[in-house]
Structure formats: structure tokens, C-alpha cells
Amino acid sequence: MLQEQIRNIAIIAHVDHGKTTLVDQMLKATHAFRENQQVQERVLDSNDQERERGITILAKNISIEYQGIKINVIDTPGHADFGGEVERVLKMADGALLLVDAAEGPMPQTRFVLSHAIAAHLAIMVVINKIDRDGANPEKALNDCLDLMMDLGATDEELEFAMEHVVYASAVNGFARLDPNDGNIDMYPLLDMIVDAMPAPDVDLEGPLAMQCVTVDHSDYVGRIGIGRIYSGTIHAGDKILVVKNDGSREMSQVKQLFTFDYLGRKECSEAQAGDIAAVVGVDHTDIGDVYTDPENPVELDPIEIDPPTMSVVFEASTSPLVGRDGDIVGGRQLKERLMTERENNVTMRIEELPDKTGVEVAGRGILHLSVLMEQMRREGFEFQVGRPRVLFKDDGHGHKLEPIEEAVVECPGEYSGKVIELFGNSGGNMTNMVSGVKQDHLEFKIPTRGVMGLKNRILNVTHGEAVFYHNFLEYGPMEGELGKRQNGAMISMSTEKAVAYALGNLQDRGTLFVGPGDECYEGMLVGERSKPGDIVVNIARTKSLGNQRSSTADIAVQLTPPRTFTLEEALEYIMDDELVEITPKNIRMRKRILSEVERRKWRVRHGLVDK
């Protein structure tokens, strides 16, 4: 039976193609806000980091009402590192809006999200966005979308549906059109097409209750909240329900509160019917994949499988000489408690304490995925240190090691293509496709995840900042040889003092500095990168000898190049196995794991290592 008064749609797109802006305009068109209400842009990106980075990290549900029909809209992340969110939430949808930039066309991570939508057999409507942008080519973008769907195994019926249901839009200017040149100035053609063409949920209203939890929210007041779609039956507040876990175990529970989505918020209700998306309070320790069903007539649903993490990092309490200067929370116990709380709320990460209790290992889908958690914790006042991210290997069952392989795409001016190909070759990558364009070359590679670390900066350097680089997890493949070693050595501070301009002036001839005059440094801290291999210990506090004779150059000021600064992701990619990143609310510093030069030498002797 079709629930004609409900539509469940997901919005899928590559990073920065305008998903969240389009949702803003749909909300405005359906009068979600008062006429005089001040509304911030990208209202769904409610998380601070989402707003600053300009990306969607968490999938979110809203609902709008149009022509008496409730449209549940699911905004999905476009970045592959947050793919765990995408895979699950698409289970709630019957259709998807594929949003594509009219100038850029479908990009690598469009492929990633679209492949999951096609695998779920969703009806796909194409929205060509930014048609008013310079260089826009809506016709080519549409053809590229259809080609991509064909490559990903879409059926003839799915391709035909996508060809017949195309909308041309400019989300930032608030209009959608069935023809790019028809002059329409509002969003109603898009909303009309969703209502008229998107399939209504096909459900069994009279059957036993079956609801599957695909997202877990958390409240300090009521604990875990299970959010998912109701596939059959009706759920009421106060109902006794059977909870079937992914592993097959069963337990009884009671629905204490029930909510449905209402524009940007949730509305408490007494019942929710099949086809709708609901939030259930009262199921303790609910998890992704849990099925809420009728105890007398239990319904079985397929368990939800999430792609496993591909990279891990160890969090430790800070042992820096400057510990406690910036942050309020520095203890190992508080760090462990915070990460264990994250384990409760974040099912896409695997968080486990190390057997020797020295730290907590956090595994995720990529460096961006891990760094979002680190950034959140430093904003909460934590000080901690993390080691170099390491790739998680698998065994193929025959004693052979497999490692994660990424699909990487670089778009750059043709004059730099040779240098980019050389970089990938040195990092274990193999080129799989090359398309030469008038302005840009399009290069595709398969490369081990280990080889990707630190590659973005090197690509930007050889292309003078003109390259666009994307990558996402593809598969597990045979283990490559040794990869990812930093070519140049580091400059390491020999003392705990503030950096002095005179000393830095002499050191900058040897490489690139990471610190400026007056910066707090300590023994073992990385203060720069040499222009040659091999680490050196340097004195960053050396001052000029003052004699009683006047020098002809005495009044010439030291000319310093601004120091190189690192984002959190760049620092994680830069460090080597014997180094750490120290993270505080105000600073990101890189340091050696063993701070003392004498102790480092002893360690190298014990392990049979010698400096080059």
C-alpha cells in the first residue's frame, strides 16, 4: 500500500556542489521561517566545524510540507570520510536528488555516494545546480551524470527515470527550472516534481511493527535516541517492543517518547505510521541496525553493514613540557572517559583502550574523519598528543596481507601533469585513466592509503596551487612496498626557550621554519624542515655576541620569511613514526616521541639504527 501523503528523499552530491544551500531554499519556499525571521545561511550545517570547513559531516533529517504532502529530506555528507553516514541513511529514502555543479559535472565523490544510491535502487532525479555560474554547461553535466549512472550499473528503468526528471537550478539565487532558459524565479518546479514523480513509500500499514534504527542521537537527559524508518505497522508512545540486534540477540523495551520530524525540529507525537521517519526514546543501548518490532509477530530485516575503518591513531595524555598552559583537561583518565563517551555516540569509529593502558586507539575512515574528533576535543579544552596515523591491514585468509587502496583524481593544468604522475609513481600509485582537456587534464589513479598521506601538499607545490585533488576508499588490495617516508629531515630544538629572531635568521638558510620569534619551544620539538635528508638539532635561542666594537652591519634588521603553519590534518600527514602531534586549544605542535637527544641516540643504538 502506498503512503501517498509522504515522500522520503535523500540529497546526494560532491562536496561544495550546493546540497545544504538547496535545502535552505526548499525550507524558505515552504514557509518554514517567519517572513521577518533572520536565518543564517546553510542552516542545516549546525555544527561549528561544518560551517567553518564548508562541508556536511553528519547526515541530518528535516521535513517540509508542500501541497498537503510531507517531504522528509535527508541531507547526506559528500565527503568519502563520512561515508558511514551515507550508507545507513539512504535506507530511509525511496528516492534521491542527485545534485551536480553545472560547470564541474559529477566529481569523484559524487560517484561514491551515487553508487550507494543505485545499490539501494532509489529513484534518482537529477538537479543541475549553479547554472548561472561562469563556464556552466548544463547539457554536458547531465550527459556526464547519465554516463556515470550507466557505469555504476543503473538499470534501464532507473536511467529513463533520471532522463525524464531533470531540474536546472541556482540554489544560491533561489530558483529552479525545467528548462535552463525559461525565466522562472522560484523553487516550485523542483517541489512539484518531487511530489508528482518521486515514489511514495510502499508499506504495509496493517502489518506488524517493523522499524530499523539507522542513526543514533544522544541526549544528556534521555540517553540514546534511535532514528529510523518504519517499514510496516504503527508505533505508539508507551508500546512494548521487541528489539532485535544485528547479532541476532533480542530484548524487550518500551517506547517512552516518540517524535517525528517537523521542518527543522522534532515534534512529539502519540503514534507514527509506516513510511514515516521517527525518533524513539526508551531503548537503552540502542545501536545502528537494531530492529524495533512486534513481540508477538516479530519481523526480520536485513542487518546494516558499515564499511570498516581504514586508518587508526593512538590518543595519549600529553607529556609536553608545556602541558597545562592552554587547556583545562590534561589527564589520561579524562581523555579516556571522553573517548569512551564518543564510542557510545559515534558508531562509525572503533574506539578501544590499548592493552598496556598507555592510550586509546581510535579507528576511522580517513584522516579528515579522525581530525574532526580531535578538533572537537581541543575546542572542549582538552590537551593530548597523537601518533602518526597508521593504515589498518586485513588478511585474505591465505596468509597474505591486504591494505586499503584509494581511488584518487587530480585535475590540473596540462603543463604540470608529468610532475603529478611522477609524484604518484613515487608514492605507489598507478594511473588508470587520463583525459586531456583544453584547460585542465583529468588524471585518475589507484594508490594505497599509505601513499596518500602527505601527498596533497606535494601536489599543490608542484602545480603551484592550481590542482584539485580528491580521493576515496576503493577496495582492499595486495600490500605494496615501503611508502610514505618523508624525504627531508627535521630541525629539532635542543632547549626549552622562546625562539629568537637572530637564531631563526641563521637557520632559515638551512630549510623551512615552523616557528617565529617569541614562540615557545621545547627540547625535542620540531621547529623546521631541512632541505636535506637527516634530522639536526638546532639552537633556536642563540643570540648575537655583543662586543665593544661597532659593526658596520649592526643596525640591519634580520629578514625572516613567515613560518610555515600546519592545519591538524597536515600535521598528522607530516609526522613520522617516531614523532607525535601535540594538540592544545591554542596550538598544534610537532615533536619527537623521545624529547632528549641523548635518549634518542641511546634508543637508536639499542635498535641498531644509525643516522645517515
463 pLDDT above the threshold of 70: yes
Residue 608, by phi and psi: left (phi above 0), alpha (psi -120 to 50) or beta? left
End-to-end, the C-alpha distance of the chain in Å comes to: 73
Is 101 marked as a binding-site residue?
Answer: no
- On whether the CB atoms of residues 349 and 343 are closer than 8 A, the answer is yes
Cβ(450)–Cβ(483) under 8 Å?
Answer: yes
Per mean pLDDT, which of 25-29, 96-100, 133-137, 300-304 is the most reliable? 96-100
Task: Determine contact, residues 122/94, Cβ cutoff 8 Å.
Answer: yes
- What pLDDT does residue 286 have? 78
CATH 2.40.50.250 domain locations along the chain: 490-606
pLDDT value of position 40? 41
Hey, what's the cell of 546?
655583543
543 is in an annotated binding site: no
Burial bucket for residue 497 (CB in 10 Å: 0-12, 13-18, 19+): middle
Fold observed for domain 6-197:
Rossmann fold (3.40.50)
Does 17 carry a binding-site annotation?
yes
pLDDT digits (tens, 9 = 90+) for 524-582: 999 999 988 888 999 998 887 776 665 555 545 678 889 999 888 889 888 888 899 99
Give the CA count within 13 Å in the CB-facing half-sphere of 180.
Answer: 15
> 132 among the known binding-site residues?
yes
What integer pLDDT is reported at residue 210 of this predicted model?
Answer: 87
Answer for the pair 161, 123: CB distance below 8 angstroms, yes or no. yes
Mean pLDDT of 438-447: 85
| CATH, range 210-293 | 2.40.30.10
Q: Is 129 annotated as a binding residue?
A: yes
249 contacts: CB under 8 Å, gap ≥ 6: none
Indicate whether 45 pLDDT > 60. Answer: no
Is 451 one of the annotated binding-site residues?
no
Q: What is the mean pLDDT of the chain?
A: 82
| Residue 404: CB atoms within 10 Å | 23
Instruction: For residues 467 and 411, give the distance between their C-alpha atoms in angstroms, rounded to a whole number.
Output: 6
Q: Backbone dihedral region of 491: left (phi > 0), alpha (psi from -120 to 50 degrees) or beta? A: beta
User: Per-residue confidence at 418, pLDDT binned at 50, 70, 90?
Assistant: very high
Determine phi and psi for 130, rounding to 5 degrees: 60, 45
Closest listed residue to residue 159, CA positions, set 113, 125, 195: 125
Which residues of the chain form CATH 3.30.70.240? Answer: 394-478
Whether residue 442 contacts residue 424, with contact meaning beta carbons closer than 8 Å, is answered with no
Residue 430 annotated as lining a ligand binding site: no
> Kind and range of the H or E element at 127?
strand 123-129
3-state secondary structure 299-321: CCCCCCCCCCCCEEEEEEECCCC
- Cell numbers placing 362: 581510535
Topology annotation, domain 394-478:
Alpha-Beta Plaits (3.30.70)
* Residues 404, 449 contacting (CB under 8 angstroms): yes
| pTM for this predicted structure | 0.71
Q: Which CATH superfamily includes the segment(s) 490-606?
A: bipa protein (2.40.50.250)
User: Is position 463 annotated in a ligand binding site?
Assistant: no
Residue 404: the pLDDT is: 87
CATH 2.40.30.10 placement within the chain: 210-293
Q: Any known ligand binding at 155? A: no
> Is 18 annotated to bind ligand?
yes
Q: Which three cell numbers stand for residue 417?
A: 601533469
